Structure formats: C-alpha cells, structure tokens
Amino acid sequence: MRFALASQALVGAVAVSALTLPRSLEKRLRLIDLAQFGSFPTISPELAHSEAEPVTTNFSDGPQFTGGASSTNSKTPVTAAEEKVTTAAAADGTCDRDNPGVRFEWRHYSADDKKAFVNGIKCLMDKPSDGNFQGSQSRYEDLVSVHQQLTPDIHQRAVFLPWHRYYVWVFESLMREECGFDRAFPWWDETIDSGKFAESDIFTDEYFGPLPGKTSDGQGTCIDTGTFGGLTLHIGPGSGFTSHCLARAVDESLTGTVSASFVTDCNSRTSYDDMRGCQELGPHAYGHNGVGAVMAEVQASPGDPVFFLHHLFVDHSFRIWQNADAARTTTINGCSDAANPCTPITMDYVLHSNGLRPNTTVASVMDTLGGFLCYRYDY
C-alpha cells in the first residue's frame, strides 16, 4: 500500500470551511459545535496524481455509458420506476447478466422516484429498533449502530470497499423488505457537483434538506427543514451515544476536490489495495468532509442519510475499476487487520452486519452480477 498513515487517527481535526453564514442568519439557526465530529483522514489529489499509472481503458458501465465520470449527463432522463428494479439479491442466487437491475444517477431519477426514496428512508427512521443494536432507537439507527461498532475493522483495511458494498445491500434490503420500496436504486455522481454540492436538488426541502455552510465562528447547522428536518440522532459522535441533531457544514473547497480526475487517478491503479487506499482517503474522504458535521464523523456518519448516496458513488467508482479487468472480480489483496505482519485478506473473508442481515463473503460481492448481487450502473 502506498499511503503511509501511521500518524493519522480515524478522527482528526475539522478542516476550515471556505463558506460562512452572515451573523444575521446565524441567530435564527440551531447551531452545533463541529469539534465533536472530527473528520476523515485524507491524501492530497496531487499525491494521487503523482502516483497515477497509465490509463489504458475507458471507464464505463453498461450500454448506456455516455462519457464517464466527467460526463455532463446530457442524455434524456429516464424514469427508473419503469425499468427493471434492482433487487437487493437475486432470489434464486442467479443473475441475468444481460438484464441486471440498474442503479440510476440522481439526475436520471424522476421526481416521484426521488420522493419515494427519501420516504423509504424516513420509513426506516419511523420504525422501532429491534433492540439488538447498542444505542439505537429506530430501525434506521440499527444500521448506524452497525457501522459505529465495526468502524475499526472496516476502515483503512482492504475490506473497506467490499464491506461497504455489502452495507449498501443491507440498507437496500431493509428498504425493500421492511418499507416496501420497489424502485430502482439511485446513485449520485458527485464529480458533476464538484465544488457546488449545495446547489444540487439533493439538498432541498423536497428531498434531503439543505446543505448550509459553516458559520462565521466555525459551527455546524442543525437541519430543521426537509424530509429529515428536526431529526435527533442517538448514535455517536464517535463511540458515544449522545443525543444530537442532524447537522451539516459544507466546505465547497473540499467538495471541489471530488473531481473526475481524482477518481480516474485512483482508478488507474492496477493493484486493488493501491486503488482502495487512494479512493478511501481521496474522493471518499473528501465527500464526507465536504458535507461536514455528522457526515465528517467516521464512526456514526450514516446518521446523515445522504451517507448512502455518497457510498453508492464510491461503489460506482469501485465497479468502474473492476470493469477494466475481469480478474478484478475474483481476486483481492491487502491487509485484513492491523497486525504486524498483517493477515492478508482472502476472498473467503466474512462480511457481517452484527446480525442485521445474513453474513456473506468478499467473494460473493466482488462481482455485482454474481447472483448474491445483480446490478450495474446506468453509466
């Protein structure tokens, strides 16, 4: 692995935001101290670029490809509800590789689909916890608790990408099985909104609520409008269980780093673990830190439901990397723990969610068309 981070903790100092709110507006907002949330460790895009390998393939996914991560997405929008639904898992363990489910970029999702998606998440938040997840007070927080408890094992380890792919599957299965969500799944091409996340309609009252900037004295803002307005979180910050609001504090200087060129530089790596380290500490980390507050908190970041759109973006980058070589769905390398020397990860490594959904293995999720999963992206 090329990125030495021995001196970096999972939770670090919060970056200074380039955006501020006028004091005339601050007094009308519920504010929250950002220091408690910390941030994800990062590498610089300059380092990623300096170590990029020659790109010899066209990064795309499926016949609807329209130009890669830098595309302006100008093709005619489709209504995902009219397409084949992306199932959480193939019921019989098989997948029609020529006709899998499709995950649609947010802009290609109809307004009705978008509303159904956020309402499905709200449904999980309104359901009681099953009682087996520490600190949780809802079915949605069962998910958050799993991530909090497993954080030391699933970050800065080779399992980072397969586990989070599995985690999105767990989320999807809960949405479908417990809240009746019956649409194709969306993903968010953050490279198109690089440097202007707050302008996306994702962050409007119709959907995920606003994305305010950090205040002039360095605080985050509680989200009081939109589908998730007034939400109280009970998992985190960190390993704690302190009731706090859903808060955001966008720094567009950080979201501007989530660029097509950064994704491509990371995906140029031919070694899985080199690619994983670059993606985890690069576009993935800057997306979290850019949204800020709850999203910048490593352990309990799923408390902000935009977490899942972000990780669908991360998974898209992973699948695009895999598309360049079929062997990338059948092999993996890197460390499965922090021992010295470490234990190498294998395809038999078990992925689990503390009993929230059945366990599986790395091998079963590396191929998104392999039967346990059955999806691709619209480009």
The answer to whether residue 246 is domain-embedded is: yes
List the structure tokens of 156. 């800065």
The answer to whether residue 8 is domain-embedded is: no
**By C-alpha distance, which of 23, 223, 193 is closest to 118?**
223
List the structure tokens of 17. 């935001």
Cβ(202)–Cβ(188) under 8 Å? yes
CATH of residue 373's domain is 1.10.1280.10
The answer to whether residue 315 is domain-embedded is: yes
How much is the mean pLDDT over the chain? 88
d(CA 277, CA 191): 19
The answer to whether residue 5 is domain-embedded is: no
Count the residues in the chain.
379
pTM of the model: 0.89
Q: How many C-beta neighbours within 10 Å does residue 36 have? A: 18
d(CA 149, CA 240): 10
The answer to whether residue 17 is domain-embedded is: no
Model pLDDT for residues 178-229, shown as the tens digit of each residue? 999 999 999 999 999 999 999 999 999 999 999 999 988 889 999 999 999 9
**By C-alpha distance, which of 102, 259, 122, 244 is closest to 196?**
259
Model pLDDT for residues 342-375, shown as the tens digit of each residue? 999 999 999 999 999 999 999 999 999 999 999 9
- Total domains in the chain come to 1
Domain containing 166 equals: 23-377
Q: Which residues contact 76 (CB under 8 A, 6 or more apart)?
A: none
Residue 282 DSSP class: I
Model pLDDT for residues 97-107, shown as the tens digit of each residue? 999 999 999 99
* 187 bridge partner residues: 105
The answer to whether residue 115 is domain-embedded is: yes
Strand 232-233 to 101-105 pairing: unpaired
pLDDT given at position 257: 98
The answer to whether residue 45 is domain-embedded is: yes
| Torsion from C-alpha of 352, 357, 363, 365, nearest 10 degrees | -120
The answer to whether residue 304 is domain-embedded is: yes
Cβ(372)–Cβ(359) under 8 Å? no
